[in-house]
Amino acid sequence: MKCWAKDVSPCCGTQSGEHYISQGLFEDKMIKVTNAPFFRDAEKTVSKKALTRNCLCKKHNELLSPYDSEAISFGHALIYCRDLVNSRTTLSAKKFAIHKKIICYEKLSRWAIKTYLGVADFFRYESNCETEFLANLVYSKTPSRNYVKIDFLMSQDDELQITQTVAIAPIEKNEKSVGMMIEMYGIQLTVIFADEPIFDQKQLRLNFMQGRKVKSCELVIK
């Protein structure tokens, strides 16, 4: 049996298929996969339930559910903000009530770690942080914001291009994988890991604007 969390606590003895990407991020039953190394970089349309890897036992997999849920909430928040901005596009008001969506940084960063551990073997370079260290961080009560740094970028287009697509690529430094880039629903997140508490992550704020000057909605990760 394979389980990257085997050194965190005893496994249950039952193999579990862990999704490469949380399946709740996609509404459709079938999804198109491109440039995936486990498909030899071929483009395929497959059931989202089939995109799993035997890398966790059932016990450790189930303990990750709150982090999958937070990533899904992040995706839903992005769609909500997009729809709010689009619904206000034709309105003539000069100022709007600002809607706010809040995402938990600790849960989202742990989702990023567990997603990274599920795909890191496919990256060109080995991880700069040991698997055992990252696995312990996922399941521990240690604040992750000192070990995981997240930043995001969003193109300031007139029309928000937020769709249910997710892409992952490694971030490399000195021939090591130090993190990954996640493009999620049109938003690009960079995630960097450290095995020492070198980061002092502050809350992240993403503003959704009506035109260039009027704020309509904000998404806060804190």
The domain segmentation of the chain, as residue ranges, is 67-221
Q: In sequence order, what are the residues at sequence separation of 6 or more whose Cβ sits closer than 8 angstroms to the Cβ of residue 217?
A: 80, 81, 84, 85, 98, 99, 100, 101, 207, 208
The pLDDT value recorded for residue 178 is 98
Residue 158: the pLDDT is 42
CA of residue 50 relative to chain centroid, distance = 19
Residue pLDDT tens, the chain, 222 long: 899 999 999 999 999 999 988 998 888 888 877 767 677 667 778 888 888 999 999 999 999 999 999 999 999 999 999 899 889 988 888 889 999 999 999 999 999 999 999 999 999 999 999 999 999 999 999 999 999 999 987 554 445 566 777 888 899 999 999 999 998 887 889 999 999 999 999 899 998 888 777 889 999 999
For residue 216, CA distances in Å to 72, 76, 79, 88, 213 come to 22, 17, 14, 8, 10
Residue ranges of the alpha helices (H) in 6-162? 58-62, 65-88, 105-119, 131-139
pLDDT for 154 equals 58
- The predicted pLDDT at position 26 comes to 85
Query: What is the C-alpha separation between 95 and 93, in angstroms, rounded?
Result: 6
Distance CA(69)–CA(67), nearest Å, equals 5
The C-alpha R_g of the chain, in whole angstroms, comes to 18
Question: What are phi and psi for residue 152, nearest 5 degrees?
Answer: -140, 155
Q: What is the pLDDT of residue 199?
A: 96
